[in-house]
Structure 1
Amino acid sequence: MNNIQTLTEANVDDIVSLSQFAFQYHLSEEEIQKKKEEMRRHTVWGWMEDGQLAAKVHLIPLSCYIHGKSFAMGGISGVATWPEFRRQGMVKHLLHHALQQMKQNGQTLSFLHPFAFAFYRKYGWEHVFTEQQYSIPLEKLKKQWGGEGYVRRIQSDISVLHRIYTEYAKTFNGMLERDERWWRQRVLKDQSQHIAIAYSGNGHPEGYIIYHVKEQVLTVKEMVYTNLNGHKLLLQFIGNHDSMAEKANLIVSEDNHLPLLLDEPRFEQKLHPYFMARIVDVQSFLEEYPFQGDSNLIAAVEDDFFPENSGNYQLGKGDGRDEQVIECSIQVLTGMLLGYKRPSDYYQIGLLKGEEQAIKQLEMLIPRKQTYLMDFF
């Protein structure tokens, strides 16, 4: 559409002004310069009205891990409209344009953080990531965890952090494949936070924690570990802050089992819907997806907003005989293949249709792995 333009550095001040207004924050001059530097990674499209920026969408080229494989992903961010231009379909057109560009870029997936889940469901994104939020009195962590090794605070060592993170990230579906610039601009940008590494008895790094302490609260930004020993060393380290903090706040994966390790598991635990995802290009995504074995299943997929995805697709390799058909929306297909919920879950509530035998076959075809996303954009 003629109203959609790719914005350039000449539009940066307008982009930042709209973001500050829409998301209700104020940046200092130094923060604005950092934001401008960060936006060099982005492609930003604007809807223009009489030469004025009315609405915008940012696309961030990223990659994520799905069953240990790297998939190109388009991160949608900074979606905003000035109030006088809202409810005129501008964002709808910008999102469709973004999907077209992502498909051309080979980005078979897209993630976003919604202001409202219902709004983005209309456009094919689906709830796929849920956070588990813990608030734990430190006295519950004051015990001998039995980890072998030690923890040391460091200034920063991206190479060590990255090795630990990457091994951990591949155990989930959806974690970002970070690069050095992402580490510097997004993860380690807060100079007030502390970093500590957990080492095994022979000095091998097995985990790290990024955190800060303020007003008697230890807030964990990231706690990452490659094995149970590393996890225990980090929990011991958190407990050692009992003289300066009363509780620890941390965010973990939805399937986290920390309550099983505590003598007293009664503490504040909340599940918080976090990010959404959608498959951008069904055919290309299915060709890359690591199905468990072969099948004669056909998925009849409906994608109302991006209808080039609508159609019938072979799931895994089949011989074309005795084909069975399952029917679902692009949202349900995304949720199943990323592992947020199992096919039987969607089937039980009527969002997945097919013969019971076909659903059982689909259950066997899709590997099991928890969705989790630590980053924000």
Structure 2
Amino acid sequence: MIVRKIKPEEVKRTEELFSVSFDSSYSNEETPMKLYQKYIDAPESREQEHCLERFAAFEDDDTTMMSCFIVQPFEIRFDGHKEKMNGIGGVATLPQYRKRGGIRACFASALPYMYEQGAAFSYLYPFSTAYYRKFGYEICCKRHLYRISLPHIPAYPTSGTCYLLEEATKADAMKDILYIYRKWLEKYNMMVEDADYDYRFIETASPFKDQVFTYVYRSDKGEALGLMTFKCDTSPEHRLIECSRLFYINNEGLQGLLTLAKSYAADYRHIRFSLPVDMPLEQVLPEWSMGAVSCDSIPNGMVRVIDVKKALQDAQYIGDGGLSLEISDPFIPQNNGVFTINFRNGICEELAMGKGTPDIVLPISAFSALIAGGYDTSTVPLWEGVSVYGDMADISKVFYKKAVHIATYF
């Protein structure tokens, strides 16, 4: 087996692998090199712009591609810092080559590469959490998936208005949507700094043709407070407003959007959308019985620290203190060892590697989820592979629950 980054003429083949692996139709008559040139000259997505950032496993002939995935570069927020993050996507193996270790071999090459490229974190959306834990990834955060009966939405006393994203409002919508998204960006660890093409949905919006609707809610003072994008499922068994994005800044923003949704109650039964777990709706929706509201807690991807030293240097701590951590990482040798940190006023003042006695021993997967802030201190002793030798009061200054959410899918 040969593992390497792909060549320009192999971009099309990776898309064909994905099509077969995930039973999705793919029809592209362009030659491999013409397709590659199209992506490079005028990329319409992050994946197209970085189409060569793919690792693939080949037969020994170095031609027959068996498995592949893309390593997309992102910039995320982590404890007030901007960090480089690599998002793993397009993981695919042709059926006849499954169980041959192709993806594992790709990770063995890609993870050290990410470290060399200066990434602090990596993130992915798993088909199997158990599988990706083998490579050091761990569930980072969860989201709440709500399904709300439209007639049970109260009549909120909102004084603002919603407007539809259409040709005449695109300039205002671009400004308002960026404003709302940046509020979330400032609040949550792991939120992605979107690029221009991530907002192409604004430029290309055609609600009357596509029946995909984006509404922005503004207060009576003109401040953008919420937005949602949705498509209506008209099937008799559903009659559902399905939201692909919903962001709001405060209760008025949420109530304004729900008021708009309620206006569909004559034709539809429910609205469905996802929110971060720290945005509970119990105080916004008075009725939760008789099927008025359902709420499911769903894992929202898996995180992995690529550079332990970088993560520890930039992490936000509680008060003053210090801790020694022994980390084990089977894929990135630079992450193995005992890291001793000293911090003051929540900021790392000194970080050293050595062979001292650790206060806590962690595999890279547990360290990744804990330093990202996905879990409370009380969970630390419960993690597989974690051994605690020091004082939990000291550990609680390093590992504690933070606001964590990611809203970009790749």
**2:157 is matched by which residue type in structure 1?**
G
Offset of residue 88 of structure 1: 2.3
Contact in 2 for aligned 1:294/1:365 (Cα 8 Å): no
**Does the Cα contact within 8 Å between 2:162 and 2:218 map onto a contact in 1?**
yes
1:337 equivalent in structure 2: 371
Name the count of aligned residue pairs.
Answer: 373
Contact 2:244 2:273 (C-alpha < 8 Å) held by counterparts:
yes
Runs (5+) with no aligned partner, structure 1:
none
1:121-200 to structure 2, matched below 5 A, reads: 121-141=133-153, 143-155=154-166, 156=170, 157-184=173-200, 191-200=210-219
Residue 41 of structure 1: which of 20, 43, 50 is its match? 50
Contact between 1:292 and 1:366, CA under 8 Å: does it hold in 2? Answer: no
- For residue 371 of structure 1, what is the aligned residue in structure 2? 404
Is the counterpart of residue 207 in structure 1 residue 222 in structure 2? no
The Cα of 1:323 is off from its aligned counterpart by 8.4
**Runs of at least 4 residues of structure 1 off by over 6 A?**
30-35, 185-190
Counterpart contact for 1:291–1:316, Cα < 8 Å: no
1:93 corresponds to 2:105: yes
Instruction: Determine the C-alpha separation between the residues in 2 that align with 1:208 and 1:373.
Output: 17
Displacement, 1:286? 1.4
Distance 1:89 1:251 in 2: 35
CA distance in 1: counterparts of 2:337 and 2:357, whole angstroms: 15
Cα 1:294–1:188 shift into 2, 3 Å: farther
Task: Give me the whole-angstrom Cα distance separating, in 1, the residues matched to 2:76 and 2:268.
Answer: 35
Alpha-carbon separation, structure 2, partners of 1:127 and 1:98: 20
User: Which amino acid in 1 is paired with 2:324?
Assistant: I
Larger mean CA deviation between 197-206 and 82-91 belongs to 82-91
Instruction: Say yes or no: does 1:23 pair with 2:56.
Output: no
Distance 1:116 1:158 in 2: 36
Distance 1:368 1:265, change over 3 A: same
Q: Are the equivalent residues in 2 in contact too, given 1:122–1:305 (CA < 8 A)?
A: no
Distance 1:365 1:26, change over 3 A: same
Secondary structure (helix, strand or coil) at the match of 1:292 reads: coil
Could you tell me how far apart the structure 2 residues matched to 1:47 and 1:315 are?
39
Q: 2-side partners of 1:62 and 1:22: how far apart?
A: 25
Query: Residues 145 and 181 of structure 1: is their aligned pair in 2 closer, same or farther, counting only changes over 3 Å?
Result: same
Find the residue that maps to 1:259 and give its secondary structure. Answer: coil
| Aligned partners of 1:197 and 1:208 also within 8 Å | yes
Structure 2 counterpart SS, 1:115: coil
Q: Aligned partners of 1:345, 1:78: CA distance in 2, in Å? A: 32
Q: Does 1:291 align with 2:317?
A: yes
Q: Any stretches of 5+ residues in structure 2 without a counterpart? A: 344-348
Q: Deviations over 1:180-227 (max 9, x none)?
A: 112227997894311111111111111111111121210111111122
Code of the residue aligned with 2:281 in structure 1: it is: L
Larger displacement relative to structure 2 (297-306 or 287-296): 287-296
Q: Percent identity?
A: 21
**Structure-2 residue corresponding to 1:258:** 281
- Do the aligned partners of 1:295 and 1:365 also contact (CA within 8 Å) in 2? no
The Cα shift of 1:296 comes to 2.0
Moved more, 243-252 or 153-162: 153-162
Alpha-carbon RMSD: 2.8
Work out the CA distance in 1 between the residues paired with 2:80 and 2:310. 17
- Check the 8 A contact 2:375/2:400 in 1, yes or no: no
The answer to whether the 8 Å contact 1:217/1:248 transfers is: yes
Matching residue of 1:238: 261
Question: Equivalents in 2 of 1:162, 1:140: separation in Å?
Answer: 31
1:113/1:204 Cα in 2 relative to 1: closer, same or farther (>3 Å)? same
Matched residue SS, 2:321: coil
Residue 304 of structure 1 aligns to a residue whose secondary structure is coil
Counterpart amino acid of residue 80 in structure 1: A
User: What CA distance in whole angstroms lies between the structure 2 residues aligned with 1:187 and 1:176?
Assistant: 20
In structure 2, how many angstroms separate the alpha carbons of the residues matched to 1:343 and 1:104?
Answer: 31
